[in-house]
Each structure stands twice: as C-alpha cells, then as structure tokens.
Amino acid sequence: MELGGKFRYFCSAVLATLVLLLAACNHQDDNSFRSLNLEATATGAVDAAEQTLKVLVVGDSVSPRLSGFLNGKNFEIDTNPYVIETTDVPYASYKAAAVDMDGDYIVWSDDRNGNSDIFGYQISTGTEFVISTAAGDQLSPRVSGDYVVWQDSRNGNADVYAYQLSSTTEITVTTANRNQRFPQVDGDYVVWQDERNSDAEIFAYQFSTATELQVSSLSGDQWTPQVAGDYIVWRSYENGFTDIYGYRISTATQFAISQASGSQFQPALSDKYVAWVDNRNGNDDIYAYELATGQELLISNAAGEQLSPQVSNDYVVWQDNRNGDFDIYAYHFASASEIEVSRVNGLQAFPNIRDDYIVWQDSRDGNNDVYAYRLSTAQELRITDHVTAQSRPVVSGDNFAWLDGRRGLVDVMFRQGATGQDLLATTNLETPAGAVNLLAADDYELIILGSNVFSDEVVLDLFDAALAEKVNVLGLGGTGISLASALAGAGRYGISTTPASGCSPTEVVSGSQAVALHPVFAGLNISDVLTLESEAAVTKDELAIETDASDSASPADWLVMATFSGNMCNAAKPALVEFTGGNNTAILLDGSANVADDYLYWSANHWTLFTNEVTHLLTRAVSRDLSEQ
C-alpha cells in the first residue's frame, strides 16, 4: 500500500493543530476507538487527514454485526488518524437441489433469496440465468428440449408453471384448486399429480396447443406420473395397494401395466419400456413392461432390496442391496442379460441413465463422489474425487452435472466429457470463496475469518490468499470450521486444536506479566479472569489452540497470550495465540466461542478484546507497510 496516495496534506500550521488535537485524544479510554471529531481551526476549515484501512469480514452468518461495528470507526496510530472501511462477505447456507439436465441446459432450485427459486445454466454460453424468483417456493424443476417445468407455491398452494428457453417466456400451466405437484416433462407434454377434485389424479398439458387433458379415470389416488414420447405412466392406489397404469397420448387410451398382488411403485419410463419396484414376492424386486408388445418382464428378484429404477433406450438400472449394501446393477433388454455395474464397499445409490452412460453417487472413498459407467465400453469412470461431497448426479449425452459441497455450500457443478474440467453452474451464488478475488483486487490490511464457513478448503484458500497479498488475519471462534481447526486439519504450523462443548460463559486468563502488557489487553482488568460472555450465553465450543514446538513448521514467535480459565472445559489451555505467517503477516487466532451465540451474549470485555485485536493487527500492518517503503 502506498500511504502517501491516501493522505491529504495541509500547511504546517494545520498539521501543528492536528498534533495538538490528537494528543488530546490520547487521554480517552485506551481500549475504545477514538473518534477524532476534528473541527475548523483559526487557519481555515480543513478535513482530517485520515487514511482509510480496509477490513474484509468473512464467514459468519452474523458477520454483518461485526462489519457494522467496525465500519467507519476512527482511531489513531502514532497520532495519525485512520478510519476503517469494511467489506462484509457473510456465510449463508445456500443450498442447490433437484438438479436436472438436458442437452445444452442445466436447471436446479436453490435458496439464495431466502426461499426456493429456479435457475438455469446454458453450457454453450457459460451463462447462469434466472427462470423464476416468484413469491413462495419453486421446487423440483425438470427440463426437456425447449421447456423447464416446476412446482410453484406463489399462489398459496402448489401449481405447475413452465418456462420456454427459446423465448425466455414463463407459462402458467395450471393454477387449479388445491395442489398440483410432481411435474414431469418430455418434449411437447408436461404431466403432474392433481388434487383439484379431492382425490389425486393425473393431468397433462400440451405446449404446442396450450391444451390441458385429464389422463386418469380411476377411483382412488393416482400418484407420481412419468412421461416419455407417446406414453404416460403412474402409480394407482386402491384397496391399500398400488398398481402401475399407463396412458397412450396418440390414442387417448388408458391401460393397466401391472395389477399384481402386493404393491408396485417407483415407475420409470422410456419410449420403449416401463420399469418399477414390485413386492409381489415379499421383497422389493424390479419388473418391467415392454410397451410395444404388452409383455411383462422380471428384471431382478435377487436377495435384498432393488430400488430406484431408471430406464433409457434398451437398459434399466437400479440400486441393489443383494450384497449387504447398495450397489449398482443394470439389465440389457435386447440380450436379456444383467450387468454388475458397480459392486464395491460403501454405498452406491441414486443411479441415473441417459444414452451411453450410467451415473451414481458413491461413498467407497469415505465421502460421496460421482462415478459413471459407459455402456458401450463396459468401463467404470470416476467423475469427481474432491474431499467434499458430490451427490445426485445427472447425465445428458457426455455432459455430467451434480450437487457439490466444495465451496462450503451446495453448488451445481458440471463436466463436459468424462475427463473434462469441473465447472461451476451456480456462478452467481455468493460464497466466502469469492473473497479470494476480493483480496487480490483491493488493498485490504486485515481479513477477519469467522468459523461458519463449512469447508476447510475455502478457509485455507482465504488464508493463503491473505498471506500472498500481505493481509493480516484474525481467525475467530470455535464453532464450525474455524481458521485454527482448518490449519490443524491440514498439518500447518504444527497446530493442534482441542474443542470442548457446553461450558459457559467463556472465561480467559491473560498470560505472563510481559504478555499482559500486550495491546490486545488495553483497558481490560488483566489481574482477574476475563468473562467474555454473559451468564446467559450457551457456549457450544471453545477451541484450545496449541503448536508442537518440536515441529519444524512451528512458528518461532508463537505467543500464547491467554489461556482458558479453571471454569472452562479447556482449563489452562491456550485461548488466544499470535504468530507471524508468510510475507511478514501477523496471524491472531482467538479460540473463545464467538459464533455459537451469534455474538448476542458478548460481554463488554469481549467487545473490548475484539476492538483491541483489530486495532493491534491494523497497527502492525501500517508499521510493516511503512518499514517496507
């Protein structure tokens, strides 16, 4: 930072006046931010020669409280006036869900706006776009060809809406009484479960003619329709059991697919076959029906459960528990042969099939990843290998999409080709990960990292970016993933952490007499235990922070400034430590429970300590910048 570029200098008489005024400020409480309130002097009206110091506050769901507390505060360093300007990047637990994909488009729902909305991404243009942000929740989007459909509660009950991609036009499919739910789309038709007549029935809508038709004419409830090509299928409930029925659109005829004993459920449909889960034999098996011939087929009656069938072209795939946990199996109709797609340890679940690929969610490596199987080559492929969770994959052609947790929230990511690069579809979702770019783009002097970013990788990326840009770091809190716990998990600086739960209020004891003179304790009664939270606080986790002095990575200037009191679970263990990171960057780790109570129960002592921590790190930043000029 070039300090001279931010100062406004004045004549020597004005500077002399400023020195006198600033000297007077030194008599105020040392632990508070000192407001300058400089006024006009006899030499003429002038502004205070303040320098702005920028602070980035990242990661807590309530970080606006910290940012608001700091923003605009005046203080002084060696009688020079400064003002804090904060940028707040709060963590909000945004979650994408219900991802679907067809051709050039990916669609999903997420709650970035406080309720569930529908968004899309066009692969060829790399563009994320809004489909619906109407009032209420928009759920369960499905995409086929030129249309996206979803379940919509903007009118107080569930209706069905659609969006035409080519014209970017929203279509009201139905706003009938009661609920219309579980829409599915294929080409020119959308189908749904409709409760306008009390019992659930199946309705459809043709986009090209803007006409609605009632599909089912059965008594009892009709559930969970599917549509593909010329056919609609659903689950029909009567007399305590469910059967599978179908409807041919071109002939407007309804027909029974399976009325076997027991229940048949989870119907899946292609333009050639219907498959479902069937317990006529006392176990959940997979059966199928060939639409052209009306022939029923037993696909699998292996031991254990067979669930979640999906059909495409000449194949049906399902998750299978015959081996004691769920694996993935498939069946080729043309050859009447079963395929063991994936039989490994862990859970293989939620299979999806399209054209030449089967994809599924796989926990063989301890966390969920996405795997695929190419039917034409009988080859298994690992699509993701990230340490966070990747789940609920879908496939279209040779493009893959899934829900992804690597940024500390739930994103939609995709890959073009099985060996392509992992790309982000939710490009407009705010996330603490985006603060890495902020650090590189502007002249911050301090980043405050909260502990509600639920991704070690994001925390460490922010930390490393700060060190690269010579930005000092204050790591707060013991709840969630704090900077201290992320560093410990990565084996950095020889750090280890010990969380303890349920001890309140947080209390700390300052260090030795020499340490007690440290600026972070200015204005605090260091001869006694410091109570950092009120009696009403419920402390979830205070975090003891230590380093192994025998570890070559342990900082030579590691300083334990405070320990937890005898009333805490982590009694006598380090509560507040300081050391120097790369690029002569000051790091301060505060292990007191900061986020557990959303700062609502911080005592005056805690706010004073926080104030002092910020001013100390900013002072070190200014001193470093001046020494390097």
pLDDT of residue 16: 33
Furthest-apart CA atoms within the chain: distance in Å: 102
Is residue 390 predicted with pLDDT exceeding 70?
A: yes
Is residue 548 predicted with pLDDT exceeding 60?
A: yes
| Structure confidence by residue, pLDDT tens digits, 460-484 | 999 999 999 999 999 998 667 889 9
pLDDT of residue 222: 95
Residues with Cβ within 8 Å of 175's Cβ and at least 6 positions away in sequence, in order, are 155, 159
Question: Does some domain include residue 506?
Answer: yes
pLDDT tier for residue 61 given thresholds of 50, 70 and 90 = low
Residue written as token pair 């695929």: 372
Residue 508, judged by CB atoms within 10 A of its CB (0-12, 13-18, 19+), counts as buried
Query: 463-500 b/e with 16+ CB inside 10 Å = b?
Result: bebbbebbbbbbbbbbbbbbbbbbbbeeebbbbbbbbb
445 dihedral zone (left: phi>0; alpha: psi -120 to 50; beta): alpha
| Structure confidence by residue, pLDDT tens digits, 73-111 | 998 888 899 999 999 887 666 789 999 999 999 999 999
Is residue 4 predicted with pLDDT exceeding 70?
A: no
pLDDT tier for residue 62 given thresholds of 50, 70 and 90 = low
CATH of the domain at 23: 3.40.50.880
| Structure confidence by residue, pLDDT tens digits, 370-381 | 999 999 999 999
106 dihedral zone (left: phi>0; alpha: psi -120 to 50; beta): beta
CB 392 within 8 A of CB 412: no
Is residue 349 predicted with pLDDT exceeding 50?
A: yes
pLDDT of residue 18: 30
- For the entire predicted model, the pTM comes to 0.71
For residue 58, give Cα distances in angstroms to 386, 486, 622: 23, 15, 21
Residue 152, judged by CB atoms within 10 A of its CB (0-12, 13-18, 19+), counts as buried
What is the extent of the structural domain holding 29?
Answer: 3-91+431-627
Question: Does some domain include residue 503?
Answer: yes
Q: Which helix (H) or strand (E) holds 23?
A: helix 12-25
Is residue 32 predicted with pLDDT exceeding 60?
A: no
For residue 21, give Cα distances in angstroms to 38, 55, 287, 378: 7, 26, 87, 80
Question: Does some domain include residue 397?
Answer: no
Is residue 546 predicted with pLDDT exceeding 70?
A: yes
CB 443 within 8 A of CB 470: no
Residues 192-218: what's their mean pLDDT? 95
Question: Does some domain include residue 415?
Answer: no
Is residue 17 predicted with pLDDT exceeding 70?
A: no
Split into its structural domains, the chain has a count of 1
pLDDT of residue 542: 86
pLDDT tier for residue 430 given thresholds of 50, 70 and 90 = low
Residues 171-182: what's their mean pLDDT? 97
Distance separating alpha carbons of residues 444 and 470, to the nearest angstrom: 9
Question: Does some domain include residue 126?
Answer: no
Phi, psi of 406 (to 5 degrees): -70, -20
| Structure confidence by residue, pLDDT tens digits, 208-240 | 999 999 999 898 999 999 999 999 999 999 878
User: Of the given ranges (28-42, 57-71, 532-546), which has the lowest mean pLDDT?
Assistant: 28-42
Question: Does some domain include residue 50?
Answer: yes
Question: Does some domain include residue 418?
Answer: no
Phi, psi of 297 (to 5 degrees): -130, 130
Distance separating alpha carbons of residues 568 and 342, to the nearest angstrom: 50
Question: Does some domain include residue 539?
Answer: yes
Is residue 504 predicted with pLDDT exceeding 80?
A: no
Six-digit token pair at 48? 């205070």
pLDDT of residue 79: 87
Residue type, 348: Q
CB 462 within 8 A of CB 432: yes
Is residue 42 predicted with pLDDT exceeding 60?
A: no
Classified as helix, coil or strand, 345 is coil
Distance separating alpha carbons of residues 387 and 384, to the nearest angstrom: 9
Distance separating alpha carbons of residues 251 and 256, to the nearest angstrom: 15
**23 alpha carbon, distance to own chain's centre:** 49
User: Of the given ranges (27-36, 63-72, 141-150, 434-443), which has the lowest mean pLDDT?
Assistant: 27-36
Q: Please count the other Cβ atoms lying within 10 Å of the Cβ belonging to residue 218.
A: 17
